[in-house]
Amino acid sequence: MSRLMGFIHDRVESAGHEVDYLCTDDVPSTWTGWFGRRVAFPMAVRAKAIEAMRQGRPYDIVNVHEPSAVPVTLGRGRGSSPAVVVTSHGLEHRAWDLAKEERRLGRQSPGWRTRLSYPATSLWPSGIALRRADHVFCLNEEDRSALVARFGRAPESITRLHPGADEIYAQAAEGRDYMRVQRVLFAGTWRKNKGIEDLVPAFTALAERYAEMRLDVVGAGLPAADVQAQFPEWVRHRVVCTTPGDECSTAAAFAEADLFLLPSLFEGTPLTLIQAMMSGLPIVTTATCGMKDVIAHEQTGLLVPIRGRHEMVAAMGRLIDDRALRSRVGLQARSTARRRYTWDCAAGPALRAYESLGA
C-alpha cells in the first residue's frame, strides 16, 4: 500500500504539486496496541489538516486510507475544503463478507474478539467515509461495482488505480528462455488473504510430483522457520524464504524464478502480480479482485477459482509440462506490463482526479 502511494505521488510531485505524507510512525505512541493505532492515526490525519489550515497553508486535497478516513469526512459536506479522497486497497466490507464465508466453510476465520470489535472499529467508520468522501480511489472493478451498488457512489466519483512496476524487472529477466522449470515464486506477506491455506497443500502436491521443484517465498514478513513449519516436514527444505533489501534485489529474485503462483482470496490489485508480469513470469493466480482485471486467461497467465487447490496444481502442471505455453503467456505478460503497467501509466488517473478536484 505505502509503495503504491509513494510511486504514484512521486509522479504527482513531478507534475508540479506538493505532497506531504503522514504515516503511523509519525504519530506519538501515547496509545499502543491495535485499538490505539486504530483510533490515534485517524485523529492525527484530522489534526494534520486542521494545523495546515491554521498556518495559512491549507491542503487542497487529503488522501486517506479507507479505515482511517472517518474523522476527516465527518461534519463536512461534499465539496468542502479540503477535498477528501478515500483510497481503498480492497473494500473492508467485502473483506469482511469473505471472512464470514470462510467461517461458514470451516476454514480459518476471525476469532470472537475480532468478530465483536471489527464492525465498530472498521466497518462502520469505513462505510461513513466511503459515502461522504468527495472521491474514492479503488484498485479493482469488483470494488468499483460495490461502491456504486452498496455505498451509492456516482461512477464519476470513483477512480480505479492499479500498481505499476519498474522496467528493472524486465531488464533483470531479459535472458529468460523458459527452458528451466524448477522454482515457483510466491511474493507477498504470509497471511490469510494471500491464500496461504491453499498455497501450502498446492505446493506440497507439486513437490510430490516434481522432485526438483522448490518454492521461493519473497517478503513473507515472518521468520523463515515460521513459514516452513506450515509445510510437511519432508518438504520444508524445499521452501526458501528471502527478504530482498531493495528494488534491484527484488527484481533479481523474480528473474531467478521460473513460475509465479498467487492464490489470493482477496486483494486490491497486488503489486507483486505486476512485477511478475514485467519479469515475464508464467503466472497462475485466482480469478478474483484485481487479478482477473489484469490477467487475461490463457493469454497473460492462467486463472483458477479461489480456494481451488486442485485447479492450481493442474494449472501449474500445464505450465511445467508445456514450454511453449510458458513462453507464450510469459512473453505476453511482459509485453502487456511494459505497455500498460508502468508507474507513469499508474499515476495518470490519480493525477487527473486530483487536478479535477483542485480546479
pLDDT in tens, 99-153: 999 999 999 888 888 888 888 888 998 999 999 999 999 999 999 999 999 999 9
What is the structure's pLDDT at 40? 83
How many angstroms from the chain centroid is the CA of residue 301? 18
Question: Facing residues of 61 across strands?
Answer: 83
Task: Give mean pLDDT, residues 175-198.
Answer: 96
Cβ neighbours of 260 (radius 10 Å): 27
Average pLDDT of every residue of the chain: 93
Task: Give mean pLDDT, residues 171-197.
Answer: 96
The CATH class given to the 168-340 domain equals alpha beta
What is the structure's pLDDT at 43? 87
Which of 252 and 112 is assigned the larger pLDDT?
252
What is the structure's pLDDT at 117? 82
Residue type at 22? L
Q: Residue 359: pLDDT above 60?
A: no
**Cα distance between residue 204 and residue 47, in whole Å:** 50
Q: Which three cell numbers stand for residue 5?
A: 502511494
Phi/psi at 149 (5° precision): -75, -35
Residue among 81, 13, 269, 9 at smallest CA distance from 160: 269
What is the structure's pLDDT at 31? 60
**Cα distance between residue 145 and residue 350, in whole Å:** 19
What are the Cα distances from residue 243, in Å, to 197, 199, 257, 358? 21, 19, 15, 40
Confidence band for 280, pLDDT divided at 50, 70 and 90: very high
Residue type at 175? G
What is the structure's pLDDT at 27? 79
What is the structure's pLDDT at 11? 94
pLDDT in tens, 50-103: 999 999 999 999 999 998 888 888 866 666 789 999 999 999 999 999 999 999
State the DSSP string of 68-107: G-HHHHTT--TT-SSEEEEE-SS-HHHHHHHHHHHHHTTS
Cβ neighbours of 253 (radius 10 Å): 21
What is the structure's pLDDT at 74? 81
214-218 and 239-242 beta bridge pairing = parallel
Domain boundary assignment for the chain: 2-164+343-357, 168-340
CB of 37 closer than 8 Å to CB of 30: no
Task: Give mean pLDDT, residues 184-211.
Answer: 96
Phi/psi at 105 (5° precision): -85, 0
What is the structure's pLDDT at 355? 94
| Domain spanning 2-164+343-357: CATH 3.40.50.2000 | yes
Which of 111 and 295 is assigned the larger pLDDT?
295
Please report, rounded to a whole number, the percentage of residues in the chain having pLDDT higher than 70. 96
What is the structure's pLDDT at 104? 93
**Cα distance between residue 220 and residue 235, in whole Å:** 18
Q: Would 2-164+343-357 and 168-340 be classified into the same CATH topology? A: yes
Question: For the chain, first and last CA: distance in Å?
Answer: 27
Phi/psi at 217 (5° precision): -105, 115
> Max CA-CA distance within the chain?
67
CB of 136 closer than 8 Å to CB of 154: no
What is the structure's pLDDT at 1? 80
Please report, rounded to a whole number, the percentage of residues in the chain having pLDDT higher than 90. 82
Q: Residue 307: pLDDT above 80?
A: yes
